[in-house]
Amino acid sequence: MDRFWKKKVIVITGASSGIGRATALLLAKKGAHVVLAARGEDPLEELAAECEAHGVQALGVPTDVADAASVRRLAEAAVHAFGHFDGWVNNAGVYMLGGLEETPDEAFRQLMEINFFGTVSGSRAALGQFRRQGYGTLVNVSSTFGTVPAPYLSAYVASKFAVRGFSASLRQELLGSGIDVCTVMPAAIDTPLWRHTANYTGWRIRPVEPVHTPERVARTLLRVLRHPEHETMVGPAGKSFAAMHGLFPRSSEHLMRAGTDTRHFRDARQGPTPGNVFQPMVEGGSVSGGYHGTGKQWLRRLLLAGGVAAAALSLRRRAADRRLGARLTHALGG
């Protein structure tokens, strides 16, 4: 039990599986009350019981983030149960692979409804309460694919770039309001997402190594809820890809295409599937997807080295940015 988290109330969408589930369990372990949202009812009930075993209150609210009214009801249920909430994590999301020509338009649009408009609805619902309270932290989960494009992922990449841009605009609107808006961008994470994925490529897939643990993202989400940061990447691979794409966009796009062809697809054919885009899947309501630790050591080291270099560059840039930001605020009388 951590004194900071005691009596804090956090709403998490996409709580029943993977990153959301790991985050809910970590928050409960630290002493926070949690409001858990996803479409599937049974996994939410199981998770609520697991959280309550840590001595906190947990409320499961079946919610479809693609439906704005459902998201409003989630916020109302949280306030009804706890009187307030301190943080809201827009984490619900679906993954989809397929060339544009093979991907059904309705699946493309439904992915945007969940990943992007679900984040917009969640942000509106959270903001309503945050304005009444005068404080609150909103965390939107984007992805490395909110900074770097990849082939056969046009819908997913578009949704995650959109989440990142939307969050940055909202953050500017809310400057000085006491409300923080943060974006968290994980690299490949070992969750059931890879089994939930919609796939119109004709090939079975595996996550591109290195794969990081969902607990690592959960720790980052708790850190950001406690000490808000504008944008946070999780995993050295994501930092390396983002740095490489920033410096060498053309070569990195070729590398990404080759890497996807050889490393994302397995040598096994598979028919098209909508995965969990239109409805929840029964399988995979766990934290881990069972993929961790199969990475090639040389690749891990290469990406780690790239990540360290990118982090060093970004630290220097962030320090300079902070100094300039403080000067501008002062000069503009803020």
Ligand X SMILES: NC(=O)c1ccc[n+]([C@@H]2O[C@H](COP(=O)([O-])OP(=O)(O)OC[C@H]3O[C@@H](n4cnc5c(N)ncnc54)[C@H](OP(=O)(O)O)[C@@H]3O)[C@@H](O)[C@H]2O)c1
* 156 has catalytic annotation: yes
Nearest to 36 by CA among 58, 56, 68, 18: 58
**CA–CA separation, 36 and 11 (whole Å):** 6
Give the dihedral sign, CA 154/209/207/43: negative
Give 238-260 as a DSSP string.
HHHHHHHHHH-HHHHHHHHHHHI
Query: 91: which 2 tokens?
Result: 């984490």
- Decide whether 62 or 136 has the Cβ nearer to ligand X: 62
Closest CA to 288 of 185, 180, 195, 183: 195
Instruction: Give the residue with the Cβ less far from ligand X, 110 or 137.
Output: 110
- Contacts with ligand X, residue ranges (CB under 6 A): 13-20, 38-40, 63-66, 91-94, 114, 141, 143, 186, 188-189, 191-193, 196, 276, 280
Residues 95, 156, 200, 291: which is the catalytic one?
156
- What's the min distance (Å) between Cβ of 295 and ligand X? 13
3 state SS of 40: coil
- Closest CB to ligand X among residues 91, 201: 91
Residue 214 or 321 having the CB closest to ligand X: 214
Q: Smallest distance from the beta carbon of 330 to ligand X, in angstroms?
A: 37
Q: How many CB atoms lie within 10 A of CB 244?
A: 18
Measured from the CB atom, the residue of 159 and 252 that comes closer to ligand X is 159
Q: Is 269 exposed, middle or buried (0-12, 13-18, 19+ CB in 10 A)?
A: exposed
Residue 267 CB, shortest distance to ligand X, in Å, is 22
| CB 257, min distance to ligand X, A | 19
Q: In angstroms, give the least distance from the CB of 196 to ligand X.
A: 4
Hey, which residues are catalytic here? 156
